[in-house]
Amino acid sequence: MTGTLAVYQKELASYFRSPIAYYVVAVFLLGTGYFFLYNVFLTGETTMAATFQNMGILLVTLVPVISMRLFSAEFSAGTAELLLTLPLEPWQIVVAKYLGAVTILVLMTAATVVDLVPLYLFGTPETTTILAGYVGFVLLGMACLALGLFFSTLTHNQIVAALITAAVLLGLWFVGHLQSFQRSDALRGLFGYLSFAQHFTDFIQGLVRTEAVAFYLVVAAIALTLSAGYLQWRR
């Protein structure tokens, strides 16, 4: 536990001592702020629904920047030789690194709460719907980060890791659109089930469905298990 905590703290220190975390958080907050202003002030609707939708796609494009360094940077800098010879199981290292990345996600999500101030000052938004949206957003981010972490275990090259992650996440975000081209109900169901965007839409509408929660958590668990398994196997 001590070792896992040490790796987690090292991860956070590394994020905040390099420009990457600041860059990601800044881009995310600027983007979110812009979408918020556009959606709320131009339409006059005091909801976060449209903003959450925009935050989702923004997240999908920014996650690869956070996750690309998780293992790729360790391999390319040679620090993997230290990390993977510590008295820690691969899953402990994976969990510590993942929690570090999730902490960044939670911090940048928390920073968007400032957008809620004008919403509550000038309107009467539905708090439970907003809360559901935030829960969905964090779950979406957790699934995306876990996939990004897995792809970063596969390569020494951070750019390659980021590009694979971006391609896969965008694919999973837009895969729901393929439903309209399918005649087979099974395929339509499958594409709908795999769609990160469709599950997220439920949360935005205020629905915290067990199926959607489980979907994101299972995706994250599978990706993390594969990562730990791969690290063990590559020995």
Partner 1 sequence: MTSDSAVITLEAVSKRYGSRTVVHDLSFTVDEGEIVGFLGPNGAGKTTTMRMIAGFTAASTGRVRVAGYDMATQNVEAARLIGYQPERPPLYDTLDVSAYLRFVARAKGVRRAAVPAELERVIAACHLEAVVRREIFKLSKGYRQRLGLAQALLGTPQVLLLDEPTAGLDPGQIQETREVIRAFGEHHAVLFSTHILAEVTLICRRVAIINHGRLLAIDSPSALRRAQEETHRVSLQVSGPSTEVRDALLSVKGVIAVDVHAMPDNAGLLAVDCRVEPRQGLEAAIARAVTHRWDLHRLERQEPTLENVFLQYVKTRPDGA
Interacting residue ranges for partner 1, rule: CB under 8 A: 2-3, 5-7, 9-10, 13-14, 17-18, 77-89, 235
**Number of neighbours of residue 149 by Cβ within 10 angstroms:** 26
Q: How far is the CB of 103 from partner 1 (least distance, A)?
A: 16
Say if CB 220 and CB 95 are below 8 A apart: no
Nearer to partner 1, 100 or 141 (CB): 100
Who's near 165: CB < 8 A, 6+ residues apart?
Answer: 63, 64, 67, 68, 144, 147, 148, 151, 152
Nearer to partner 1, 69 or 199 (CB): 69
Nearer to partner 1, 79 or 128 (CB): 79
Q: Which amino acid is at 231?
A: L
Nearer to partner 1, 2 or 124 (CB): 2
Q: How far is the CB of 234 from partner 1 (least distance, A)?
A: 8
Q: How far is the CB of 4 from partner 1 (least distance, A)?
A: 9
Task: Please tell me the distance from the alpha carbon of residue 141 to that of residue 164, in angstroms, as a whole number.
Answer: 17
User: CB burial class (10 A; 0-12, 13-18, 19+) of residue 22?
Assistant: exposed
Q: How far is the CB of 122 from partner 1 (least distance, A)?
A: 42
Q: How far is the CB of 88 from partner 1 (least distance, A)?
A: 7
Nearer to partner 1, 82 or 218 (CB): 82
Task: Please tell me the distance from the alpha carbon of residue 129 to that of residue 206, in angstroms, as a whole number.
Answer: 4
